[in-house]
A and B are shown apart, each in its own frame.
Chain A
Amino acid sequence: MSLIDQLNQLEQEALAALERAADLTALAEWKSAYLGKQGALSRLSRGLGALPAEERPAAGARFNAVRATLEQALERAEAQLKRIARQHAFEADQVDVTLPGRAPAIGRLHPTTQMLRTIYSVLGEMGFQVWESPEVETDEFNFQLLNMPPDHPARDMWDTFYIDTAPGEPTLLLRTHTSPGQIYAMRANAPNPVRAILPGKCYRYEQVTARHEMQFFQVEGIAIGEQISFADLKGTLVAFAERLYGKGVKTRFRPSYFPFTEPSVEFDIECFLCGGAGCRVCKHSGWLEILGAGMIHPTVLRNGGYDPEKVSGFAFGMGPERMAMLRYGIDDIRWFFSGDERFLQQF
Chain B
Amino acid sequence: MRVPLSWLKEFVDITLPVEELAERLTRAGLECEGIERIGIEGADLPWDPEKIVIGSILEVRRHPNADRLVLADVDYGAGAPHTVVTGAPNLFPYKDKGRLPQPLKGVFAREGAELYDGHAEGWVKMRLKGRLVRGIMSDAMLCSEKELGLSEDHEGILILPDDAPVGMPLRDYLGDMVLKFDVLPNMARCLSILGVAREIAALTGAPLRMPEMTVVEDGPPIEGRVRVTIEEPDLCPRFTATLIEGVTVGPSPLWMQRRLIMAGMRPINNIVDISNYVMLELGGPNHMFDADRVADQHLIIRLARPGERLVTLDNKEHNLDASLGGGMLPLLVCDPQGPLSLAGVMGGASSEVSATTTRVLLEVAVWDPTIIRRMSSALRARSEASKRFERGVDYELPPLVQRRALSLLQRIAGGRVAKGMIDNYPRPWKPVTLDLTPREVRRIIGISLSAAEIADLLRPLGFACDLIDNGAAVRVTAPSSRRDITMLADLCEEVARMYGYDRIPLTLMADALPEQRNNPSLELELRVRDLLAGAGLDEAITYSLTSMAAVAAVNPADADASLYLRLANPLTPEREYLRRSLLPTLLEALAQNLRERERVLLFEIGRVYLKRAPGSDDPRPEEPRRLALALAGRRYERSWHTPDETVMDFFDLKGIVETLLARLNVSGVQFIPLTDDPRFHPGRAARLERDGRVLGVIGELHPEVCERLEIAVPRAMAAELDLELIGALVEPVRYRAISRYPATTQDLSLVAAITVPADRVAATIRKYAGALLESLTLFDVYEGEQVGAGKRSLTYRLVFRAPDRTLNDAEIAKIRQKIVRGLEYDLGATIRG
* Chain A residues with CB under 8 A of B337: none
* CA A340 to CA B623, docked complex, whole Å: 25
Binds B, one of A3-11, A35-43, A71-79, A124-132: A124-132
Give the 4 A-B CB pairs with smallest separation, nearest first: A339-B589, A231-B446, A255-B29, A229-B446
Is A208's CB under 8 angstroms from B571's CB?
yes
Is B578's CB under 8 angstroms from A136's CB?
yes
Output the nearest chain A residue to B541 by Cβ-Cβ distance: A110
- Contact among B391, B444, B492, B493 with A153 in the assembled complex (CB-CB below 8 Å): B391
Is A100's CB under 8 angstroms from B497's CB?
no
Is A228's CB under 8 angstroms from B541's CB?
no
* CA A227 to CA B446, docked complex, whole Å: 9
Chain A residues at the B interface, C-beta cutoff of 8 Å: 99-100, 102-110, 112-113, 117, 126-127, 129-130, 132, 134-138, 151, 153-154, 156-157, 161-165, 169-170, 172, 174, 189, 192-195, 201, 203, 205-208, 214-215, 223, 225-232, 234-236, 238-239, 252-257, 259, 262-266, 283-284, 295, 297-298, 312, 336-342, 344-345
- Contact among B391, B512, B588 with A339 in the assembled complex (CB-CB below 8 Å): B588
B78 touches A (CB below 8 Å): no
* CA A117 to CA B28, docked complex, whole Å: 34
Is B516's CB under 8 angstroms from A337's CB?
no
Known: A130-B522, A162-B567, A236-B508. A336 touches B541 (CB 8 A): yes
* CA A114 to CA B571, docked complex, whole Å: 29
Output the nearest chain B residue to A217 by Cβ-Cβ distance: B541
Is B567's CB under 8 angstroms from A154's CB?
no
* Chain B residues with CB under 8 A of A105: 536, 601, 637
B369 touches A (CB below 8 Å): yes
Is B445's CB under 8 angstroms from A262's CB?
no
Known: A108-B538, A153-B369, A257-B187. A231 touches B529 (CB 8 A): no
Given contacts A229-B507, A341-B538, 16 further A-B contacts (CB under 8 A): A107-B532, A107-B535, A134-B621, A134-B623, A135-B607, A136-B623, A151-B370, A154-B185, A214-B545, A214-B575, A230-B445, A231-B447, A235-B505, A259-B185, A298-B489, A344-B538
Of B186, B369, B570, B623, most A-chain CB atoms within 10 Å? B186
Is B443's CB under 8 angstroms from A312's CB?
yes
Is A113's CB under 8 angstroms from B529's CB?
yes
Is B596's CB under 8 angstroms from A100's CB?
no
* Chain B residues with CB under 8 A of A235: 505-509
Known: A109-B529, A110-B541, A257-B187. A223 touches B502 (CB 8 A): no
Is A207's CB under 8 angstroms from B493's CB?
no
Is B445's CB under 8 angstroms from A229's CB?
yes
Binds A, one of B133-141, B639-647, B751-759, B799-807: B639-647
- Contact among B588, B609, B619, B640 with A99 in the assembled complex (CB-CB below 8 Å): B640
Output the nearest chain A residue to B591 by Cβ-Cβ distance: A339
B368 smallest CB distance to A (angstroms):
10
A8 smallest CB distance to B (angstroms):
57
Is B505's CB under 8 angstroms from A263's CB?
no
- Contact among B390, B514, B637 with A225 in the assembled complex (CB-CB below 8 Å): B514
14 example contacts (A-B, Cβ-Cβ < 8 A) are as follows A104-B536, A106-B533, A130-B519, A154-B185, A163-B578, A164-B568, A206-B571, A254-B31, A255-B28, A255-B29, A255-B496, A256-B184, A262-B489, A341-B600
Chain A facing B: main interface SS: mixed
- Contact among A165, A203, A263, A336 with B497 in the assembled complex (CB-CB below 8 Å): A263
Q: Give residues 599-628 of B contacting A (CB, 8 Å).
A: 600-604, 606-607, 609, 619-621, 623
Is B505's CB under 8 angstroms from A127's CB?
no
Chain B residues at the A interface, C-beta cutoff of 8 Å: 26-29, 31, 33-34, 184-187, 326, 369-370, 373-374, 390-391, 442-447, 487, 489-490, 492-493, 496-497, 501-502, 504-517, 519, 521-522, 526, 529, 532-545, 565-571, 575, 578, 585-586, 588-590, 592-593, 596-597, 600-604, 606-607, 609, 619-621, 623, 637, 639-642
* CA A166 to CA B579, docked complex, whole Å: 19
Is B621's CB under 8 angstroms from A136's CB?
yes
Known: A100-B639, A342-B596. A108 touches B545 (CB 8 A): no
* Chain A residues with CB under 8 A of B590: 339
* Chain A residues with CB under 8 A of B506: 231, 234-235, 238
* CA A162 to CA B576, docked complex, whole Å: 11
* Chain B residues with CB under 8 A of A169: 619
* CA A100 to CA B641, docked complex, whole Å: 9
Is A312's CB under 8 angstroms from B369's CB?
no
B377 smallest CB distance to A (angstroms):
9
Is B539's CB under 8 angstroms from A164's CB?
no
Is B28's CB under 8 angstroms from A106's CB?
no
Is B640's CB under 8 angstroms from A100's CB?
yes
* CA A310 to CA B607, docked complex, whole Å: 38
* CA A341 to CA B599, docked complex, whole Å: 10
A146 smallest CB distance to B (angstroms):
14
- Contact among B493, B508, B516, B539 with A232 in the assembled complex (CB-CB below 8 Å): B508
Known: A262-B490, A344-B538. A227 touches B509 (CB 8 A): yes
Is A161's CB under 8 angstroms from B489's CB?
no
A139 smallest CB distance to B (angstroms):
10
Is B29's CB under 8 angstroms from A163's CB?
no
- Contact among B490, B537, B596 with A107 in the assembled complex (CB-CB below 8 Å): B537
* Chain A residues with CB under 8 A of B532: 107
Output the nearest chain B residue to A232 by Cβ-Cβ distance: B509
A288 smallest CB distance to B (angstroms):
14
Is B514's CB under 8 angstroms from A230's CB?
no
Is A257's CB under 8 angstroms from B492's CB?
no
Is A312's CB under 8 angstroms from B541's CB?
no
Is A254's CB under 8 angstroms from B533's CB?
no
Is B535's CB under 8 angstroms from A254's CB?
no
- Contact among B442, B529, B543 with A215 in the assembled complex (CB-CB below 8 Å): B543
Known: A130-B519, A136-B578, A235-B507. A254 touches B501 (CB 8 A): yes
Output the nearest chain A residue to B511 by Cβ-Cβ distance: A225
- Contact among B26, B33, B513, B621 with A254 in the assembled complex (CB-CB below 8 Å): B26
Of B34, B543, B570, B603, most A-chain CB atoms within 10 Å? B543
A266 smallest CB distance to B (angstroms):
8
* CA A338 to CA B540, docked complex, whole Å: 8
Is B597's CB under 8 angstroms from A341's CB?
yes
* CA A295 to CA B578, docked complex, whole Å: 34
Output the nearest chain A residue to B604 by Cβ-Cβ distance: A339
Is A253's CB under 8 angstroms from B502's CB?
yes
* Chain A residues with CB under 8 A of B537: 107
Is A255's CB under 8 angstroms from B497's CB?
yes
A50 smallest CB distance to B (angstroms):
58
* CA A226 to CA B602, docked complex, whole Å: 47
- Contact among B536, B600, B640 with A106 in the assembled complex (CB-CB below 8 Å): B536
* CA A140 to CA B493, docked complex, whole Å: 26
Is B593's CB under 8 angstroms from A341's CB?
yes
Of B510, B514, B522, B589, most A-chain CB atoms within 10 Å? B514
Output the nearest chain B residue to A149 by Cβ-Cβ distance: B370
B521 smallest CB distance to A (angstroms):
7
* Chain A residues with CB under 8 A of B519: 129-130
* Chain B residues with CB under 8 A of A231: 445-447, 504-507
Is B566's CB under 8 angstroms from A230's CB?
no
A249 smallest CB distance to B (angstroms):
13
Output the nearest chain B residue to A296 by Cβ-Cβ distance: B489
* Chain B residues with CB under 8 A of A100: 639-640
Is A102's CB under 8 angstroms from B641's CB?
yes
* CA A252 to CA B642, docked complex, whole Å: 55
* Chain A residues with CB under 8 A of B575: 214
Known: A253-B502, A265-B501. A195 touches B542 (CB 8 A): no
Is A214's CB under 8 angstroms from B493's CB?
no
Output the nearest chain A residue to B30 by Cβ-Cβ distance: A255
Is B569's CB under 8 angstroms from A161's CB?
yes
Is B31's CB under 8 angstroms from A172's CB?
no
* Chain B residues with CB under 8 A of A229: 442-446, 507
Is B27's CB under 8 angstroms from A254's CB?
yes
Is B619's CB under 8 angstroms from A138's CB?
yes
B61 smallest CB distance to A (angstroms):
49
Is A257's CB under 8 angstroms from B521's CB?
no
* CA A8 to CA B239, docked complex, whole Å: 137
